[in-house]
């Protein structure tokens, strides 16, 4: 039996996938409301294919509990934010989860850390917990790092088809865990050591962050000299070895916007390009606010209450708002004492997260004259005609109505 610890955006789909493929699974989370919701037969966030996977897993006997289980296999999938002061990984959730696992796990168990961590985190934080309980790692307890590579909006497919990395102290244990993930994973599974697995996952997301930063910096350069960044990227990408990404309003989520900071915090003075990229991407919400200000001035608008932000999530067609550029913008406005008037709407965010949040597109559009497109949900892509007659700032390159403003 596998005890999956942490039933959030990564842990829940992982638990469901194992169960749907015939593995006995108990999912554990400290959040009573979350566990109760799952036990009522309902999923806790929106994701393509998740409800169907949930029903299949339930039919195969998956269980959900507040309690940690005594078993021979644990998968820890809890959040790993970064400390905003030191820029280092905040391993407190992992530490607490492993401590709870140690209170119930028998000798011979394998503990798999799926949470993304910076290089050396498992040596620094996890090994001491296990050893302090009198266990010998490699004899009494096996320790493994198996970070995921999935993205909200395509989780179910990517869990099955993406490659994976298994980091273990010994090839034998690595192969054992590889065989477990092979119950559903059709992609290549590479076995390596723990520190390499830690570094590899962080490097992947850092690479993407740097590429996004180049596109965003290019957008700023082109804006400063009245050039069309999208046309420049389109033509440049015809080069066989060039693939410039599309600029946007910032970087959100819990991977690309977080993992590079681990390297900045752990390797000060060495992670210079990484730090520069983080600053560029973190600065994009303020750049969008400057664009809003300039466009309002150009159109003789003075009432911020007639401006509407479309999109609260960090990417299209999901309900995940973690590190959302829109929320970063609103926080910046609040710091400058000008928040609270601007209108906000997102079809995927059902609960009120911010002031003046709407839950219906038509009502939202009726109350604004200037729409800022921050997320490219299918809903707005299919209803562009409703923006006719509005001032539109398109930060996602999805609106082609006459007069649309760009980044």
Domains of the chain in start order, with CATH, are 2-192 (3.40.50.720), 209-406 (3.40.50.720)
Tokens of 207: 């690479």
What phi and psi, each to the nearest 5 degrees, are found at residue 388? -60, 135
Per-residue pLDDT of the chain (407 residues; tens, 9 = 90+): 999 999 999 999 999 999 999 999 999 999 999 999 999 999 999 999 999 999 999 999 999 999 999 999 999 999 999 888 888 899 999 999 999 999 999 999 999 999 999 999 999 999 999 999 999 999 999 999 999 989 889 999 999 999 999 999 999 999 999 999 999 999 999 999 999 999 999 999 999 999 999 999 999 999 999 999 999 999 999 999 999 999 999 999 988 999 999 999 999 999 999 999 999 999 999 999 999 999 999 999 999 999 999 999 999 999 999 999 999 999 999 887 676 799 999 999 999 999 999 999 999 999 999 999 999 999 999 999 999 999 999 999 999 999 999 99
Nearest-angstrom CA–CA distance, 183 and 254? 27
255 part of the active site: yes
The one catalytic residue among 255, 315, 343, 399:
255
Give dist(CA 361, CA 21) in Å, integer: 40
- Residue 60 to residue 52: CA distance in whole angstroms: 13
108: Cβ–Cβ under 8 A, 6 or more apart, which residues?
72, 140, 141
Rounded to two decimals, the pTM is: 0.92
Helices 194-224, 259-266: crossing angle, 10 deg rounding = 100
Contact indicator for 199, 167 with CB cutoff of 8 Å: no
In Å, how far from its chain's centre is CA 78? 13
Q: Provide the residue count of the chain.
A: 407
CB of 15 closer than 8 Å to CB of 7: yes
- Angle between helix 325-335 and helix 284-298 axes, rounded to 10 deg: 70
Catalytic residue among 178, 201, 315, 343: 201
């Amino acid at each position: 039996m596998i005890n999956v610890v942490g039933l959030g955006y990564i842990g829940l789909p992982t638990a469901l996938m194992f169960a749907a493929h015939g593995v006995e699974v108990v999912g554990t989370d400290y959040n009573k409301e979350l566990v109760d919701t799952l036990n009522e037969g309902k999923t806790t966030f929106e994701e393509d294919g998740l409800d169907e996977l949930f029903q299949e897993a339930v039919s195969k006997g998956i269980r959900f509990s507040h309690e940690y289980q005594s078993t021979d296999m644990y998968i820890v999938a809890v959040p790993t934010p970064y400390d905003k002061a030191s820029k280092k990984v905040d391993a407190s959730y992992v530490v607490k989860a492993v401590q709870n696992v140690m209170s119930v796990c028998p000798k011979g168990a394998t503990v798999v850390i799926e949470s993304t961590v910076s290089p050396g985190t498992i040596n620094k934080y996890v090994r001491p917990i296990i050893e302090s309980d009198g266990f010998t790692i490699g004899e009494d307890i096996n320790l493994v790092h198996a970070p995921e590579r999935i993205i909200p909006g395509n989780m179910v497919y990517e869990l099955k088809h993406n490659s994976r990395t298994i980091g273990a102290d010994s090839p034998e244990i690595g192969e054992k865990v590889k065989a477990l993930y092979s119950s559903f994973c059709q992609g290549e599974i590479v076995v390596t050591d723990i520190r390499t697995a830690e570094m590899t996952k962080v490097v992947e997301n850092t690479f993407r962050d740097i590429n996004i930063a180049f596109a965003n910096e290019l957008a700023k350069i082109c804006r400063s000299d009245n050039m069309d960044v999208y046309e420049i990227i389109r033509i440049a990408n015809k080069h066989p070895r060039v693939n410039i990404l599309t600029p946007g309003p910032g970087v959100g989520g819990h991977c690309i916007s977080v993992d590079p900071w681990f390297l900045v915090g752990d390797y000060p003075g060495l992670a210079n390009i990484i730090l520069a990229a983080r600053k560029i991407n973190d600065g994009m919400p303020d750049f969008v606010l400057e664009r809003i200000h300039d466009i309002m001035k150009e159109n003789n608008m003075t009432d911020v209450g007639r401006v509407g932000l479309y999109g609260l999530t960090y990417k299209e067609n999901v309900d995940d708002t973690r590190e959302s550029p829109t929320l970063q913008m609103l926080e910046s406005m609040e710091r400058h004492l000008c928040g609270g008037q601007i209108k906000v709407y997102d079809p995927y965010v059902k609960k009120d997260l911010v002031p003046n949040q709407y839950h219906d597109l038509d009502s939202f559009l009726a109350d604004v004259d200037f729409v800022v497109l921050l997320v490219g949900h299918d809903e707005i892509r299919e209803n562009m005609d409703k923006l006719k007659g509005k001032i539109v700032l398109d930060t996602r390159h999805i609106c082609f109505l006459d007069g649309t403003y760009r980044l």
